[in-house]
Amino acid sequence: MSLTTADVRKVARLARLAINETEIETARAQLSGIFDLIAEMQAVDTKGIAPMSHAQDLSQRLREDVVSEADQRELFQSIAPQVEAGLYLVPQVIE
């Protein structure tokens, strides 16, 4: 499968990756290579094999519903770029 440079731009935007014009062709070729590999795998006959959603054939362990975490706000916020009145501050987002 061959991706277009438009596909690469879209994926980059969705992933919030800055890719400049000179990098686009390299990224397009590399990503296309990955999709070629996927296409090869998809050609394998998997009839009768249950799909896996995880590499390990185990099931999720459950945790009892107990509060175990103490308040560590001060510690966590000591490495935050900007805080105010207990809130983490980020550049303004407008809905």
Minimum distance of another protein from residue 62's CB (angstroms): 4
Minimum distance of another protein from residue 22's CB (angstroms): 24
Q: How many CB atoms lie within 10 A of CB 23?
A: 13
Minimum distance of another protein from residue 15's CB (angstroms): 8
Contact positions toward another protein, by CB under 8 A?
10, 13-14, 16, 53-56, 58-69, 71-73, 76-77, 82, 84-95
Tokens at 15, concatenated? 């992933």
Q: Which is nearer to another protein, 16 or 22 (CB)?
A: 16
